[in-house]
Chains A and B, each alone.
Chain A
Amino acid sequence: MGLFDYFRGQKKTSASLAKERLQVIVARERGARSGPDYLPALQSDILDVVRRYVAIDDDAVRVQVEREGDYEVLELNVVLPDED
């Protein structure tokens, strides 16, 4: 941190932004990798079932496995469309 930076204030550098974005995306992709093989199939089945009742986008269903200590939590997230 040089003298001029002090007066310029603490603006976030592009490198620190890059690091933050990478940490988030890498963590998410590692999570998807380590999950069980059937997750993508489960996700598309749930999508089909929900679609029998309401029209939703392809990315409206999120399936994730979180590890907490000794047990795993299967997290399902379905985003329903706004009612007009």
Chain B
Amino acid sequence: MARVVVVTSGKGGVGKTTTSAAFAAGLARAGHRTAVVDFDVGLRNLDLIMGCERRVVYDFVNVINGEANLNQALIRDKRTEGLSILPASQTRDKDALTFDGVQTVLEGLAQDHDYIVCDSPAGIERGAHLAMYFADDALVVTNPEVSSVRDSDRVLGLLASKTHRAEQGDEPVREHLVITRYVPERVGKGEMLSVEDIGEILSIDLLGVIPESSAVLNASNSGVPVILEQQTDAGQAYDDVVARYLGETREQRFITEKKGLFGRLFKG
């Protein structure tokens, strides 16, 4: 049985698509057949981050409308075996995604995949609701910043009430926190919410902390999921996220300050 994982946040620009691409690529690298689905109808971007924008022929909405079958629409990743991408449609019709349509597509994907990663659009409208509705697990992507934390809490409320699992009274969606754009030096100076602060407010399991890193923009510039850049800090942090999700115990590597000798003398 495939597991459906939604990557969500409420707030835009916090790293949902970056996380979806990295997480899906990581699962595939670990040997799991993985599909990553872009739910952001009208604002397709996962294809760019995954570097397959020129290979898009059919999309999610084409499949729902029966204009193409799943196999025609799925793009097989060239770098990572076992990874496929289902791009969002660029239609301006907000109602292009339907509950039945999404369910049918997810059931189709579940036939030959182990994980289905749903990249949610920002906001809490229809697209975001549909992205989370059939989820078994949720990665809640949060920046150490007040508006992002508040929106994440709002999204946690929706995960607990507006999902298929919640409505059926099944075991609740498993929620995992992924903190992105973290700068330990600023946390040390009291300028940024710490991992502990955010954990205390949202009180969900911490899956990982991705440091603020030039590697993320570099990777997106070249259309490579940042997890494949294994020599970079963000790449390694996402690798830890995937490993922990799959049950491995790994220490947090990117939450302490890199102190020089001078810093150590004067900062106690």
If over half of A's interface residues share one DSSP class (helix, strand or loop), that class is named, otherwise mixed; here it is helix
Q: Across the interface, do A15 and B267 meet the contact criterion of CB distance under 8 Å?
A: no
Contacts A2-B267, A29-B153 given; does A13 touch B146 at CB 8 Å: no
Number of A-B contacts (CB under 8 A): 48
B150 within 8 A of A: yes
A25 to chain B, nearest CB (A): 6
**Cβ contact within 8 Å between B150 and A22:** yes
Closest-CB distance, A54 to chain B (whole angstroms): 34
State in angstroms the CA–CA spacing of A21 and B161 once bound together. 25
- Residue of B with least CB distance to A32: B157
Contact: B268 with A15, CB < 8 Å?
A: no
Chain A residue, CB-CB nearest to B153: A26
Total residues of chain B contacting the partner, CB 8 A: 21
Are the C-beta atoms of A4 and B191 separated by less than 8 Å? Answer: no
* Contact (Cβ within 8 A) B192 A29: no
Who on chain B is nearest to A19 by CB? B197
- Assuming the contacts A1-B268, A2-B267, A19-B197, asked whether A25 and B157 have C-beta atoms less than 8 A apart, the reply is no
For window 205-219 of B, CB contacts with A under 8 Å fall at: none
- Contact partner of B149 among A1, A16, A22, CB < 8 A? A22
Q: Other than the known A29-B150, A30-B153, what 10 A-B pairs have Cβ atoms closer than 8 Å?
A: A2-B266, A13-B189, A15-B194, A15-B197, A19-B193, A21-B146, A22-B146, A22-B149, A22-B201, A33-B161
Q: Which residues of B contact A (CB under 8 A)?
A: 145-146, 149-150, 153-154, 157, 161, 187, 189-194, 197, 200-201, 266-268
List 18 A-B residue pairs with CB atoms under 8 Å apart, sorted by A's residue number.
Answer: A13-B189, A13-B191, A15-B191, A15-B192, A18-B145, A18-B146, A19-B197, A19-B201, A21-B146, A22-B201, A23-B201, A26-B149, A26-B201, A29-B150, A29-B153, A29-B154, A29-B157, A33-B157
Query: Residues of A at under 8 Å CB distance from B?
Result: 1-4, 13-16, 18-19, 21-23, 25-26, 29-30, 33
